[in-house]
Chains A and B, each alone.
Chain A
Amino acid sequence: MMDREDRRPDLSVLDPGLGDAGYWERLRAAVLAGAAFELARRRETARASVTAVLSSWSRKLIPATLAAAAAAAFLALSENASDQGEPQPLALEDVLDEGAAEGLSWTAENAAASPVAFMAFVEGHGR
């Protein structure tokens, strides 16, 4: 059984929203109007912080990116230069991978480069 003293007193008469459905929304609007300046200040501060972080990153990233690009360009040019030199002897792996054994002309110089080339050279001279 409920203790009479622990029954809920009706304090709704103290609720300013009683009979005035828009009261709390108006109070909220009034609070937000009072807070408008501080909210705007905070937005501005946050925007300035983001800009500052991005610009600090860009100060470090741009030189690093330029250096990396220069290094990549240098390497690419170096590889092009070496590609234009004399053909390199084929290794066994290259022959097997590319199926390039047929049609090659073997010489004593390049036959020494791999066992397959060597065998082809010997067989050619044995016939």
Chain B
Amino acid sequence: MTDDTKGRNPAAAPLALGRKVRGLSDRALAWVFIAPTIFLLLAINIFPLIWTVWLSLTNYRANRLNAEVKWVGLRNYERILTDPDIWYSMQATAHFLIWTLVLQVLIGFGLAYLINRKFKGNDLWTTIIVLPMMLSPAVVGNFWTFLYQPQIGLFNYVIAFFTGADPASFSMIGDVNLAPWAIVIVDTWMWTPFVMLICLAGLRSIPDSIYEAAECDRASAWRQFWTITIPMALPFLMLAVLFRGIENFKMFDLVVQLTGGGPGSITELTSINLKREAFEKWRTGFASAYAVILFVTVFGLASIYVKALNKVKER
């Protein structure tokens, strides 16, 4: 914008001078353009993060404004790492994470592979498959509780129809053994399309000429699949796993609406557990330490993974 005040007269300004003036204002302009973004991110992301770290070293409770805030050092961290409930949440999260990733990668890649056979109307059907991932996870979680109702729920009815079991005899979200799978099923229904789309981009990026060369060499379909398709699509597949992994590690909305962490605390993933500590028990300091641990874990795992991903890409 600083440039606006300077001459708008091309004929009068020699090009060399113009460059110089522009060069100066370029830099100013760049900062004018970038600053608001950086400022907002600092204010709403970084500053809160630093505040979280500070809070994690205190015994602050957000519902007691006048209580004295005491510095407790690393005691919150110590208590978290020795808390069996929190380790239990970590296990529940790991179960959820691993199974959703396995199912989504297998189904997503399979679908992408089939869609890449370019049958008629494949883009219309792709769009239909993509629909669930566009929806609000909390609202989706909420309406799946209806589908999971014993007896009247559509899910139970369909399962009963195919297995002959009594649809009133099992409750996906009320049963301790079934609830961890109930959340895996809904997440897979919702997010397989994401993995599928990225795999599809990967498959479409493989040049036809490679396959044609392989065909000339009489390479079998099986061999082509393992020596061309998989290695060339692998970076994309790994990227999809990274994104889903980060998202599902943070998982909150879908599961909180679906099971609320229950029955008991069987499906209480770390984010749900954290929300309880922070906004129901109001142990702000403790919860902040918990948040820091989760953030460091995601960040650490993601960085290691990205290193591995870059190695695969370099090959």
A binds B: no
Where the two chains meet, the residues of A that have a C-beta atom closer than 8 Å to any C-beta of B are none
